[in-house]
């Protein structure tokens, strides 16, 4: 029989070696538990929280740099590609407000410009490729 002291130390090492449970945000990034952000904490992860002054800086930049019409600023009035500038760089480094990320990402990455210049829509590409019998397609499909 093992002495109780050795058994106690052995079980403590096993418990310490267990992997902690991780939480992930909506983008798939791991969120640390000590951030206090989790499904039961009632707090939003830091990436989802918006800094109102930072949002206002973004709005002002977009309005004064890209809105040439009088009236409300809407995303369709903003160019498909944002010209690089030191001001834009500093805004990105300071953080992009969560609510503006989809529209800004499309413009900053060049995806919106490619999408508008494309002759085929994504749905058409999927429809056209649904009949493809590539080796990869055969490997992915069951049976």
pLDDT digits (tens, 9 = 90+) for 119-140: 888 888 888 877 767 777 777 7
Task: Give Cα 109 to chain centroid, integer Å.
Answer: 13
Q: 21-76, pLDDT tens digit by residue?
A: 777 766 666 776 654 444 445 555 565 678 899 999 999 998 888 666 666 778 88
How far is residue 59's CA from residue 76's CA, in Å, rounded to a whole number? Answer: 14
Domain spans, the chain? 4-48, 52-117
Length reported for the chain: 143
- pTM to 2 decimal places: 0.55
């Amino acid at each position: 029989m093992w002495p109780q002291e050795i058994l106690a130390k052995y079980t403590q090492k096993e418990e310490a070696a267990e992997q902690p449970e991780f939480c992930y945000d909506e983008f798939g990034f791991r969120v640390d538990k000590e951030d206090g952000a989790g499904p039961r904490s009632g707090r939003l992860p830091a990436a989802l929280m918006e800094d109102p002054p930072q949002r206002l800086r973004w709005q002002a930049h977009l309005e004064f740099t890209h809105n040439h019409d009088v009236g409300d600023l809407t995303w369709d009035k903003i160019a498909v590609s944002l010209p690089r500038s030191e001001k834009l760089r500093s805004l990105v480094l300071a953080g992009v407000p969560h609510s503006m990320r989809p529209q800004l990402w499309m413009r900053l990455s060049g995806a919106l410009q490619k999408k508008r210049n494309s002759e085929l829509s994504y749905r058409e590409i999927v429809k056209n490729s649904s009949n493809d019998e590539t080796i990869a397609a055969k490997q992915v499909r069951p049976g």
